[in-house]
A and B are shown apart, each in its own frame.
Chain A
Amino acid sequence: MAIVLVLLAIGSVLAGYVGVPTVIGGSNRIEHFLAPSFAAPGMDAGGESGASHAEGLSEAPTVPAESTGEGGGDPNTELGLMAFSSGIAVAGIGIALFFFLRRRDVTDRVAASFAGVHRVLLNKYYVDEIYDAAIVQPVKNASERGLWKVVDAGVIDGAVNGAGKLVDGWSAILRRLQTGSMRAYALSVFVGVVLILGYYVWR
Chain B
Amino acid sequence: MAVVPILSLLVALPLVGAVLLLFVGNRDHERDRFIQWAALGISLAEFAATLWMWARFDPARADFQMVERADWIPSFGIQYAVGVDGITLFLVVLTGFLTPLALLGSWQSVHKKVREFSFFMLALESAMIGVFLSLDMFLFYLFWDAMLIPMYFLIGIWGYDRRVYAAVKFILYTMAGSVLMLVAILSLAYMHSVATGSYSFSYEALLTLTIPRHAQVWFFLAFALAFAIKVPLFPFHTWLPDAHVEAPTAGSVILAGVLLKMGTYGLLRFAFPLFPDAAAYFSPLLATLAVIGIVYGALVAMVQPDMKKLVAYSSVSHLGFVVLGITAMNIQGVQGAVYQMLNHGVSTGALFLIVGMLSDRRHTRLISEFGGLKHVMPKFVAAFFVVTLSSIGLPGLNGFVGEFLILFGAFRWNVTFATIAATGVILSAVYMLWMFQRVNYGPVTNPKNEGLKDLSTREWWVLGPAIAVAIVMGVAPSYFLNPMKPAVNRIVSRMAEAEPSKVVRVAPEAGADVLLTAAADRHSGTTGPAPRSAGE
B412 in complex: contacting residue of A41, A148, A156, CB < 8 Å: A41
Stretch among B76-84, B88-96, B295-303 lining the A interface:
B295-303
A contacts with B, residue count (CB < 8 A): 27
Is B335 at the interface (CB under 8 A from chain A)?
A: yes
User: Residues of B contacting A49 with CB < 8 Å?
Assistant: 331, 489, 516, 520
Contacts of B477 in A (CB 8 A): 45-46
A144 near B303 (CB under 8 angstroms)? yes
Partner pick for A46 among B169, B304, B478, B509, CB 8 A cutoff: B478
Q: Indicate whether A59 sits within 8 Å of B516 (C-beta atoms), given known contacts A41-B412, A44-B408.
A: no
Known contacts A45-B477, A52-B331, A164-B172; decide if A143 and B302 are in contact (CB<8 Å). Answer: yes
Interface residues of A in 141-158 (CB under 8 A from B): 142-144, 147-148, 152, 156-157
**B405 and A45 within 8 A (CB):** yes
> CB within 8 A of A41: which of B408, B516, B517?
B408
Question: Considering the chains assembled together, what is the distance between the CA atoms of A160 and B242 in angstroms?
Answer: 12
Contacts of A59 in B (CB 8 A): 526
Interface centre among A47, A51, A59 (most CB of B within 10 A): A51
Provide the residues of chain A in CB contact with B102, threshold 8 Å.
none
Task: Report how far A148 CA is from B297 CA in the complex, Å.
Answer: 9
**Interface contact A45-B303, CB-CB below 8 Å:** no
* Contact indicator B238/A157 (Cβ below 8 Å): yes
Smallest CB separation, B506 vs chain A (Å)? 9
- B residues in contact with A140, CB < 8 Å: 302-303
B302:A45 contact, CB within 8 angstroms? no
- The reply to whether B173 and A47 form a contact with Cβ atoms under 8 Å apart is no
A144, B482: Cα distance in complex, Å = 42
* Complex CA–CA separation, A26 to B485 (angstroms): 44
Does the CB pair A147–B238 fall under 8 Å?
no
**Contact of A55 with B401 in the complex, beta carbons under 8 Å:** no
What residue in chain B is nearest A157 (Cβ atoms)? B238
Compute how far the CA of A42 lies from the CA of B526 in the bound complex, rounded to whole angstroms. Answer: 15
Q: How far is the CA of A148 from the CA of B517 in the complex (A)?
A: 43
Q: Is the CB of B481 within 8 A of A45?
A: yes
Residue of A nearest to B298 (CB): A143
Q: Is B47 an interface residue (CB 8 A)?
A: no
A143 to B317 Cα, complex, angstroms: 14
| 8 Å CB contact of A54 from B169, B331, B517 | B517
Does any Cβ of B come within 8 Å of A9's Cβ?
no
Residues of A within 8 A of B513 (CB): 50-51
CA distance A152 to B485 in the complex (A): 38
B310-339 residues with Cβ-Cβ distance < 8 A to A are 331-332, 335
Contact A47 B299 (CB under 8 A): no
Pick the most buried of A44, A142, A164: most chain B CB atoms within 10 A of its CB: A44
A139 to B303, CA, bound (A): 10
Q: How far is the CA of A127 from the CA of B408 in the complex (A)?
A: 33
Interface size class of B (residues with CB under 8 A): 35 or more
Asked if A55 and B405 make an inter-chain contact with CB atoms under 8 angstroms apart, the answer reads: no
Instruction: Please give the distance in Å from B418's CB to the nearest CB on chain A.
Output: 13
Q: Which of B272-306 contact A (CB under 8 A)?
A: 296, 299-300, 302-304
Per the bound structure, the CA–CA distance linking A58 and B238 in Å amounts to: 46
CA distance A42 to B516 in the complex (A): 12
Measured CA separation A140–B298 after assembly (Å): 11
Q: A47-B481, A52-B517, A55-B517 are in contact. Are A160 and B408 (CB under 8 A)?
A: no
| A51, B404: Cβ atoms closer than 8 Å | no
- Bitwise, B514-536 to A at CB < 8 A (1) or not (0) is 00110011001010000000000
Q: How far is the CA of A139 from the CA of B239 in the complex (A)?
A: 25
Q: In whole angstroms, what is the CA distance A133 to B524 when docked?
A: 40
A59 to B412, CA, bound (A): 13
Q: Any chain B CB within 8 A of the CB of A48?
A: yes
Residues of B within 8 A of A152 (CB): 238, 300
Annotate B380-412 by CB proximity to A: 1 below 8 A, 0 otherwise: 000000000000000000000100110010001
Chain B residues whose C-beta falls within 8 Å of the C-beta of A50 in the assembled complex? 513, 516
In the complex, B235 has a CB within 8 A of chain A: yes
B residues within 8 A CB of A42?
A: 520
Q: Which residue of A lies closest to B485 (CB)?
A: A46
Query: CB-nearest residue of chain B relative to A52?
Result: B520
Does A160 lie within 8 Å of B238, measured CB to CB? yes
With A44-B408, A164-B172 as contacts: A52 and B521 at CB distance below 8 Å: yes
Scoring A residues 159 to 180 as 1 if CB is less than 8 Å from chain B, else 0, what string do you get? 0110010000000000000000
Q: Select from chain B the residue with minimum beta-carbon distance to A56.
A: B520
Q: Mark A49-89, 1 if CB is under 8 A from B, else 0.
A: 11110110001000000000000000000000000000000
> Can you name the residue of chain A whose Cβ is closest to the Cβ of B296?
A147
A161 contacts across to B, CB distance below 8 A: 169
CB closest chain-B residue, reference A140: B303
Chain A, Cβ-Cβ closest to B304: A148
| A48 partner, pick from B173, B300, B331, B524, beta carbons under 8 A | B331
- Nearest to B476 among chain A residues (CB) is A45
Across the interface, name the chain B residue whose C-beta is closest to A62.
B526
CB of B299 within 8 A of CB of A139, answer yes
A47 to B172, CA, bound (A): 43
Give the distance in Å from the alpha carbon of A161 to the alpha carbon of B172 in the complex: 11
CB of A45 within 8 A of CB of B404, answer yes
Within 8 A of B (CB), among A114-152: 139-140, 142-144, 147-148, 152
Compute how far the CA of A156 lies from the CA of B169 in the bound complex, rounded to whole angstroms: 14
User: Could you tell me which B residues sit within 8 Å of A by CB distance?
Assistant: 169, 172-173, 235, 237-239, 296, 299-300, 302-304, 331-332, 335, 401, 404-405, 408, 412, 477-478, 481-482, 485, 489, 509, 513, 516-517, 520-521, 524, 526
Q: List 7 A-B contacts (CB under 8 A).
A: A46-B477, A49-B489, A52-B520, A55-B521, A140-B302, A147-B300, A160-B173
Return the 8 tightest CB-CB contacts between A and B, nearest first: A52-B520, A144-B303, A51-B516, A157-B238, A46-B481, A143-B299, A51-B517, A143-B303
Known: A44-B405, A52-B517. 4 other contacts (CB 8 A): A59-B526, A139-B302, A144-B303, A148-B300
